[in-house]
Amino acid sequence: MTDAEIRLLLADDHPVVRAGLRAVLETEDGMTVVGEAATAEEAVRIAADGGVDVVLMDLQFRDGMNGAEATAAITGKPGAPHVLIVTTYDTDADTLPAIEAGATGYLLKDAPPEELAAAVRTAAAGRTTLAPAVADRLMNRLRVPGTTLTKRETEVLTLVADGLSNQAIGRRLYLTEGTIKSHLARIYTKLGVDSRTAAIASATRLGLIRR
């Protein structure tokens, strides 16, 4: 292995996805896959052992911690590798927690091979790469900040979309029913709607929640 080689860890719970990423990246000069992880916890452990420059991290795993949580655990340690999110999800509910957790880049799985390779090199250099759809959404949030939902508001509205009552949401989030109503009132104001159904429809259209 030369000094210029970028050492990669592939973290995804689908073996076919990991195999596809390996097949693409190992044809690139200067890239070597040194490990694979089927769970987020395994990715955190391997990354902590050292010898990895970039972790390609999915966001959703079948069990245990998710990709954003794993990203925070990895990047929170000294000398940590960079994390490039590679996923199918591009809503605010997915992108913001991952970026806040310390992800260097965010790419969608339908990206062409050359874009994936370029994103890996960019991440290895410590620079940011964002999928166009993600970059556009973040720019729109900056232009129209009034439509931005807080993390808690996103959690509440996601549970509303799942069909939970205010009381059930309160139990799930350890909040009072009155607090849930207050969150919903702020959500309605931000989205310019007056009902749960309209809030779900508006937030889904804006990419604020995943449906």
Last residue of a domain, one of 115, 140, 165: 140
Q: Mark whether 175 and 118 lie in a shared domain.
A: no
Residue with token string 């959404």? 137
pLDDT value at position 2? 43
DSSP codes, 3-39: TTPEEEEEE-S-HHHHHHHHHHHTTSTTEEEEEEESS
> Do both 44 and 128 map to the same domain?
yes
> What CATH code is carried by the domain that includes residue 163?
1.10.10.10
What is the pLDDT, as a whole number, of residue 142? Answer: 64
Mean pLDDT of the chain: 90
Extract the tokens encoding 113: 């091979």
- The pLDDT > 70 percentage for the chain reads 95
pLDDT for 121-134, tens place per residue? Answer: 999 999 999 988 78
pLDDT tens sequence across 143-178: 666 667 888 999 999 999 999 999 999 999 999 999
Phi/psi at 36 (nearest 5 deg)? -135, 150
